[in-house]
Structure 1
Amino acid sequence: MSETAPATIPGDASCLIVDDDQPFRTRLGRAMEKRGFEVTLAEGVLEAKSAIRNKAPAFAVVDLRLEDGDGIDVVNFLHEERADSRAVMLTGYGNITTAVAAVKAGAIDYLAKPADADDVQKALLQREGAMPEPPENPMSADRVRWEHIQRVYELCGHNVSETARRLGMHRRTLQRILAKRAPQ
């Protein structure tokens, strides 16, 4: 995560970071603190809801898929407790359906993991209605395809035959793709 000078942070700089990946959560928390945010860390939905009940933050960075539930539930709960909060959704599986669900829940942006602190800060502090800047290093078409295949494979319970059927590809072709490392 790159380190930059703090941008203009509003008076209430409370920020909740919810992610079940402990090393990522800790790194992002430290980086956001260096940028002037008052960070609270949570590992899952229950811990996040407890932190929100205690003090609803002005900002939140929430992973979409958590071990004990769905990050969209956290964003919905946050907006029930504090309507003016600004939340950014993170995910390792970027797709249109989940992006739309995150925005409907009240997330102001949707970032693919691993998002760095600069991207998160830009998303949290962007003006209302402003279009986000295009990413510096967008995923390659091969990477997007690989991510989509991995997502469908996971949704099919790691069943190769069912995944191949849903993707409209030969099972052996899918097996070869799954055996390879992720493209850059």
Structure 2
Amino acid sequence: MKLLLIEDEQSFAGILLRRLTHHGYECEHAETVDKGLVLAKQSLPSHLILDLKVGTQSGLSILPKLRELLPDARIILLTGYASIATAVEAIKAGADDYLSKPVDSKTLLAMLAGDNATEAASDTNIMSPARLEWEHIQQVLKANKGNISATARQLGMHRRTLQRKLVKKPRID
């Protein structure tokens, strides 16, 4: 079982590669989207894990190319910024599954195997609506370089309301 991981965060990639190697996967790692495409063409992996944001690029941009190149591969998109909109976009672009970081080994292995993936994910990766909202706010805040006023305008809410929401970080469950 060949696996290609396209992930720019070195420490996370190292941990993930060790876990997956321990479970029998022959792993390769690319830290850029371009290198990931080259490695995918060369090694033709049976499994692929793709980060949503690889450096300044979006993993979604190469997802259709990867699906065309690897029609039978199991492709999982990982993200630290989970949202329903990106999940739908990822599945439409060719991902088999979508997971939010951090991900536990049991869920990831189930997703890679395609066995009861939805059931395994439901145990650990479902976010409450409040948590999804908080994650989205964080993403918009980052895009606005920390500017609270610009973020509040973009989200269509009062600045003080946004500040109150930022103080309360909801749990994942």
Counterpart of 2:96 in 1: which secondary structure?
strand
Deviation digits for residues 88-132 of structure 1 (CA, Å, limit 9, x no counterpart): 0000111122111111111110000111222111112115xx661
Alignment-mate amino acid for residue 136 of structure 1: D
Question: How far did 1:61 drift?
Answer: 0.6
Equivalent runs, 1:24-39 vs 2, <5 Å: 24-39=12-27
Q: Match of 1:81? A: 69
Contact kept in structure 2, 1:28 and 1:116, CA below 8 Å: no
Q: Match of 1:42? A: 30
Identity value in percent: 39
Aligned residues: 169
Cα distance between partner residues in 1 of 2:56 and 2:149: 28
**More helix as a share of residues:** 2
Equivalent runs, 1:1-184 vs 2, <5 Å: 13-127=1-115, 132-133=118-119, 134-137=121-124, 138-178=126-166, 180=167, 182-184=169-171
Deviation digits for residues 122-151 of structure 1 (CA, Å, limit 9, x no counterpart): 112115xx6611432343444323112112
CA RMSD of aligned residues (A): 2.1
Name structure 1 gaps, 5 residues minimum.
1-12
Name structure 2 gaps, 5 residues minimum.
none
Cα distance between partner residues in 1 of 2:81 and 2:105: 19
